[in-house]
Amino acid sequence: MQYRIKLICEEVDGFLREYLIDSEATFLDLNNLILASCGYKDDMTSFFLCDDEWERHQQITREDFGEKIYDEDTYAMADARLSELVDEDGQKLEFVFDPFNERSFYLKLQEADEDSDDAPCTIREKGEAPQQFLAIDTDDLIKTITDAKSKAASQEDDDEGYDPYGIGGNTYNTDELDAEGYEFNDGPDY
């Protein structure tokens, strides 16, 4: 069986891709098809299975990291077949193509077609794909780091006179404490 999958992106008006792919293909096959159709290089990408409100659930990662990132199961793209996790018309997925800036494509299983010799392929292409990674303005980055360091240093200066227990400063001599003036017990009496 073939799946027809529609892909959109919220940051570019008019951008659309539709793919035809075999239901027994892996998520890695779909990953490669998406990257090729958008002209992206292979990098740290991942899929999320979503509910009807686009809330993320199971994650399908590029590599198996051996740990759960969320409470749900995590799968490796090369090991997970589409038919194992995506099997109903209207199923929603999110494809994170820029993990550093949390930029994603949104995918929806449109319909399941009968077998075709053309799959996997891009059957509809509209608009230009967004840039894969956002450019980092190094001047802004340096300013942000400098501001954070300055704020941390001023916070440390402010904390020097802070007396959280109201005992006249952060220093006291433990020899001056009189243990006889305190009652100690083994716990509450019930």
pLDDT tens for each residue of 43-63: 889 999 999 999 999 999 988
Closest CA to 17 of 152, 94, 107: 107
- The mean per-residue pLDDT over the stretch 124-137 comes to 83
How many structural domains does the chain have? 1
The reply to whether 18 falls in a domain is yes
The overall average pLDDT reported for the chain is 81
pLDDT tens for each residue of 12-45: 899 999 999 999 999 999 999 999 999 998 888 9
- Coil/strand/helix, residue 56: strand
What pLDDT, on the 0 to 100 scale, is given for residue 171? 58
Is residue 111 predicted with pLDDT exceeding 90?
A: no
pLDDT tens for each residue of 174-183: 666 666 665 5
Residue 94: pLDDT band by 50, 70, 90 thresholds?
A: very high
Domain containing residue 76: 2-126
More confident: 11 or 152: 11
- The mean per-residue pLDDT over the stretch 95-117 comes to 85
The reply to whether 78 falls in a domain is yes
Is residue 116 predicted with pLDDT exceeding 50?
A: yes
The reply to whether 158 falls in a domain is no
- Whichever domain contains 22, its CATH number is 3.10.290.30
- The mean per-residue pLDDT over the stretch 109-118 comes to 74
Closest CA to 27 of 87, 63, 79, 77: 77
What pLDDT, on the 0 to 100 scale, is given for residue 60? 95
What pLDDT, on the 0 to 100 scale, is given for residue 190? 41
pLDDT tens for each residue of 148-163: 787 777 766 665 655 5
Q: Name residue 104's amino acid.
A: S
The reply to whether 23 falls in a domain is yes
Which residues touch 10 (CB under 8 Å, ≥6 apart)? 106
The reply to whether 182 falls in a domain is no
Which residues touch 72 (CB under 8 Å, ≥6 apart)? 57, 58, 59
The reply to whether 151 falls in a domain is no
The reply to whether 176 falls in a domain is no
The reply to whether 156 falls in a domain is no
Is residue 131 predicted with pLDDT exceeding 90?
A: no
Cβ burial, residue 75 (10 Å; 0-12/13-18/19+): buried
